[in-house]
Amino acid sequence: MKPALVIIGCGGHARVVFDAAAAMGVHRIVGFWDRPEEGGKEFLGLPVVHSLDEVKAVLRAQAVVVGFGVPLSSRVQCFDQILAECLQPAPIVHPSAVVSPVAAVGDGTVVLAGAVINSSAKIGRNAIVNTSAVIEHDCEVGSHAHVAPGAILTGGVRVGDQAFVGAGAVVLPGICVGAGAVVGAGAVVNRDVDPGLVVYGNPARVSHESRE
């Protein structure tokens, strides 16, 4: 029997993760886990539970995947809870994604439809490679990072833990985006981004807004 999978969250991203997991066909999706103030009794026709105890005792989950994108701090917290409870953080890779046989995808990472992860790229744990994103050869994407729809990391790019690369952004070869940094949608990044900075525009420049 296929292992039972629970998806954390009941929002738009959870719907997309559900579709990817269903298309992948490796797990039985048995339900969702969400906060009591957020989730109802059902989502996408499956039960919603509101505690980790219920995930284990009611849904009898063997594998769990984080199904929301923000806030990143909550993604990290949920992932740590999964590990602490000895549940398996399931990597979800949509069958239409192209993943090189010599790329590495970490536990709990979600790779969505049309994404490309090329030769010798490394993706950390609990990351998101969103719809049609491109991770070129020899890139490294840190744990809990998010590469948004249509973003392109050209060869040899480094993206730190908990960083965010916005929709349609392009990061040029060999550039480093530091841990916790944010690259705005559509930005073209042609120089390194220090940890925690927010950049936007073409060429990307530092925003005066600090990241929460």
Question: Would you please indicate which residues are annotated as catalytic (active-site) residues?
Answer: 137
Q: Are strands 152-153 and 134-135 parallel, antiparallel or unpaired?
A: parallel
Closest CA to 67 of 45, 86, 39: 39
Closest CA to 52 of 61, 43, 44: 61
Closest CA to 7 of 76, 90, 73: 90
Confirm if 48 and 32 have CB atoms less than 8 A apart: yes
Angle in degrees, CA 43, 44, 45, rounded to 5: 85
